[in-house]
Chains A and B, each alone.
Chain A
C-alpha cells in the first residue's frame, strides 16, 4: 500500500482552512480524505472512515477530548499521539508553529505519515498567510478612507488645498511619532465632536 492509499481524516472548525488542506491532499494524490468540522460524534466518524491519520488543529480545545476518547475506545485501536518524531525537530517545530497536531493509528510507520503532515503544515501556513494579507489589505483600505475624510475636513475648516492638508497631517504624524491614519482618525473624531 502506497501512502496515497492512507485514509486521512481532517478535523477543523474552520471550513475554509479545512478545504485548503483537503485540496492539497487531493492534489498530492490522496484519495481517501474525509473532512469534518466538529469533534462532536467523532467516534462514529472514526469508526466509519477508519482513518490511518487524523489531522487536527493543535489549538482546538477539543483535541484533548479526542485524545481521551482514543484512550478509552477500542474501536479506534489505540492510536498514538505524535508529532512525527522527537529527533526530527524541524518537522515538529513546523507542525507546532502551524498549529497542526497529528495522531496516527498504531503501527503506522512515521515515514509514511510525514509527507502528509508536511503537506498539512504547508497548507496551514499558506492559509494563515492569506488571512494576514487579507487583514492587512482591509486595514490599508480603512486607513485610506479615513485619511481622505480627514483631508476633506481640514480643507474645509482651514481653507487648505488638498496637498497642504495632506502635508499638514503628515507633518503632525511625524512630530507625534504616530501613524498618519491615527492622526486622521483623531481629526475625524474631533470634527465629529466640534461640528
Chain B
C-alpha cells in the first residue's frame, strides 16, 4: 500500500516536471498565442508596514495565481536601504525585481542619487499602493508641550535640551523618502529647521518603537502599525497623522525595475490586475478585521492585530488623551483614486527632494516624472480588469493641492511653491 502510493507520487511529480520542461522549452511558442504572462512569478520586496497590505493580500488570497503568476514571492526586507540594494541587484542576481516602496525612491534610484557609486538604475512606478495613515510620534516626555499638528510647540523644549548639551534626534526611514519629507514639512511649518535645529537619523520602520523605548530619539515619522504600537505600549504618543498635514496624500508605490517591465509586458499587466483587486478588497471596511489578522501573522509583521486595526478603520487613539473615531484619515487602498499613480503627486515628491537639497535645484522634474511614472500601464490594466469609469481619473494630474498650513502646490508651477516656503536647503 505504502509502496504503491509512493510510486504514484513519484510518477505524478515526474509528470509535473515533464510539463514544466515543455513550458520552458517553448516560452514564446504555443503559449504566446494566448498572450499570458511571460513568466510565472517575480520576486517582490516589502517592509513590515500596513501599506504593504495590497501585496500581502494578493499573495494570501491567491490573486497573483488567479492572474497567471502563481510563483510571485513577497519577501521581507530589513530596511529601505536593503530594498534599494536588492532592487539594484535585480531578480536575476538574487535580488528583487520590484517592491512596496516609498514613492520618491524609484526616482532617487533612477537618478543614481542613492545608489552605489551613483550608478542610475532605471525604475518604473506602475501603481500607487495607498493614501494617508503615516504618523508623527513623539516621546512621552513631550506630551506636556501639547504638541500636535503644530510642531512649533516643541521649539522651546528642543532648544532647552540642546542648551543643556543634549542632542535632539528625530528619526525617519530613508533620506528623501516620504517619512523624511512629512517630518521635514511638519517641523519646518512649525518654524523648526530640520537641518539646523535637530539631528535627523535613519531607522528602519520595524525598529522605531524599540529605539524610542531605549531613548535613542525624541520624535519620529513612520507608517503604521508602528505609531499605533507605540501608543499601545505606552512609550510615546502621536502628534499627528500625515493625513492631517495633507488630506489624501500619496504614499507608497509599486516600483519595478524598468528592464523587468519592458521584458515582461503581459506579466506586468497581470501583476497590476492582481494588486488592484487586492487593493479593492483591502479598502472594504468589512475586511479590515481579517486583514489585521493576516498582517499580524508571524511571517508578515509579527505584531498583535490590535496594533494594526484601529487606524485601518480610521479610529485614532493618539496616546495623549485625544481619541477620535471615524476620522476619514484611515489608509485608503482603492477609493479616492488611491491606486492610480498621479504624475502631479510624483512631481510634489521631487519638488520636496529639491527643497531639501537631495536633488539639484535644476532637476527637470517633468522629464524625470515622465520617465519613471507609468500611469499608462495602470490604465491598460484597469481597462482589462473592467474598473468602473468613475474609478479611472481623467487626467494625470489631481490638480492644485493645499496643505494644512495653507501652502499651495500647483504641479504646473513647482517653483512658485518652492519660493513660498520659508525654510529650505536648496542645493
Contacts and interface: CB of A to CB of B under 8 A. Distances in A.
A29 to B, nearest CB: 27
Interface string A79-91: 0111100100100
Interface in B76-94: 78-82, 85-86, 88-89, 93-94
Interface of A: 40, 58-61, 63-65, 67-68, 71, 80-83, 86, 89, 92-93, 96-97, 101, 174-175
28 contacts: A58-B82, A59-B78, A60-B78, A61-B79, A61-B203, A61-B206, A63-B79, A63-B81, A63-B82, A64-B81, A64-B202, A64-B204, A65-B201, A65-B203, A68-B175, A80-B116, A82-B116, A82-B117, A83-B116, A86-B117, A86-B119, A89-B93, A92-B89, A93-B93, A96-B85, A96-B86, A101-B85, A175-B1
Contact of A64 (B1, B80, B93, B117): B80
B interface, how many residues as a size bin?
Answer: 20 to 34
Interface of B: 1-2, 78-82, 85-86, 88-89, 93-95, 116-117, 119, 173-175, 200-204, 206-207, 216
B94 A67 contact: no
Contacts of A86: 88, 116-117, 119
A68 B201 contact: yes
B172 to A, nearest CB: 9
B93 A65 contact: no
A61 B175 contact: no
Given A63-B81, A64-B174, 16 more contacts: A58-B82, A59-B82, A61-B78, A61-B79, A61-B203, A61-B206, A64-B81, A64-B202, A64-B204, A80-B116, A82-B117, A83-B89, A83-B116, A93-B93, A96-B89, A96-B95
B359 to A, nearest CB: 14
Contacts of A96: 85-86, 89, 93-95
Contacts of B79: 61, 63-64
A92 B173 CA distance: 25
Among A61, A92, A97, A174, which residue has the most Cβ atoms of chain B within 10 A?
A61
B94 A97 contact: yes
Nearest to B171: A65
By Cβ-Cβ distance, the 9 closest A-B pairs, closest first, are A68-B202, A64-B81, A64-B202, A61-B204, A64-B79, A59-B78, A61-B207, A82-B116, A65-B202
A145 to B, nearest CB: 27
A67 B116 contact: no
A95 to B, nearest CB: 10
A96 B202 CA distance: 21
A81 B204 contact: no
Contacts of B85: 58, 83, 96, 101
B407 to A, nearest CB: 27
Contacts of A81: 116
Contacts of B2: 174-175
A97 B89 CA distance: 12
A181 B345 CA distance: 57
B175 A71 contact: yes
A110 to B, nearest CB: 9
A36 B307 CA distance: 34
A67 B203 CA distance: 11
Contacts of A59: 78, 82
A53 to B, nearest CB: 14
B8 to A, nearest CB: 13
Contacts of B207: 61
A80 B112 CA distance: 13
Contacts of A40: 216
Contact of A67 (B88, B200, B202, B216): B202
B325 to A, nearest CB: 34
Contacts of B86: 96
A59 B204 CA distance: 11
Contacts of A60: 78
Contacts of B95: 96
Nearest to B86: A96
Contacts of B80: 64
Contacts of A65: 201-203
Contacts of B88: 83, 86
A40 B88 CA distance: 28
